[in-house]
Amino acid sequence: MKNNRSRMSWLPAACIAAVLCVLSGSMFLTGAGADKIYIPPAREFTLKVNFSKGVSGYPAMGTQKRKAGTIVKYSYSPASGFDGLVVKLDGAVVAASGAFVMSADRALDTYAHPYYTLKVMNTGYNVGPDEPYTCFVYSNCVHVGVPACGIHKIRRGETVQFHLNYGDCEKADLYLAAYPPPPGICPPVLRSLGGHECTEWFTGSFVMDRDYTLVLNIDQE
């Protein structure tokens, strides 16, 4: 034992330090870099963020590097005219705002749906024994009730209630057409909502499952 102690006593201090560094898990550089210790860089993970038009919030869209263990806060909301916000973290639906840990590569995907467009308009037609069917578009709204003429932005899947009438005519037809309608002409019928004498009210509803034009077509005979 004495001999071992005597041998250790003449070892250079640098050698003893090297042994201690190796035992502690660090790398001790020899030669020209004998005074430097190598420290491995902290592990990083990739965060991919993607969101559609109509979405605002953070983090910003793009690919980012984040250190392992970093807590990432996020928050998204639909812009005006959009709804149905969906936020997914690694493919699973999560809340619109929250936080998660960078324990691996992560993907944050967010999207929202634009509102559907409903245009309400009035058209008129003339037809008789000696004249062909002719249809024209009113430049202003002539019916009473709801919805009013014009452009309406409506959430996807929402039910639209209608209750409208035009009293000064023989009969009228109410129908749904595509949007936008062709300019200057009566749009073709997609779905009829009924037809009857103008003294009666059109009352009912339909679901906004696409863009529509709601047309009240009035017999001007």
Segment (H or E) for 124? strand 116-128
The phi and psi torsions of 61 (rounded to 5 degrees) equal -70, 140
Q: Which residue, among 37, 33, 36, 30, has the nearest Cα to 15 in the 3D structure?
A: 30
Q: Which residue, among 176, 167, 160, has the nearest Cα to 121 in the 3D structure?
A: 176
pLDDT digits (tens, 9 = 90+) for 164-194: 998 777 899 999 999 999 988 899 999 999 9
Q: What is the pLDDT of residue 55?
A: 96
* Residue 4: pLDDT over 60: no
Q: What is the pLDDT of residue 132?
A: 76
Q: Who wins on pLDDT, 20 or 3? A: 3
Please identify which residue in the block is written with the tokens 């047309």: 215
- Percent of all residues in the chain with a pLDDT value above 70, rounded to a whole number: 80
Residue 124 CA to its chain's centroid (Å): 39
Q: Which residue, among 155, 160, 165, 157, has the nearest Cα to 205 in the 3D structure?
A: 160
Q: What is the pLDDT of residue 148?
A: 94
Cβ proximity of 55 and 110 under 8 Å: yes
User: At 20, is the pLDDT very low, low, confident or very high (cuts 50, 70, 90)?
Assistant: very low
Residue 16 CA to its chain's centroid (Å): 63
Integer-rounded Cα Rg, in Å, for the chain is 37
Q: Whole-structure pTM over 0.75, yes or no?
A: no
* Residue 127: pLDDT over 90: no
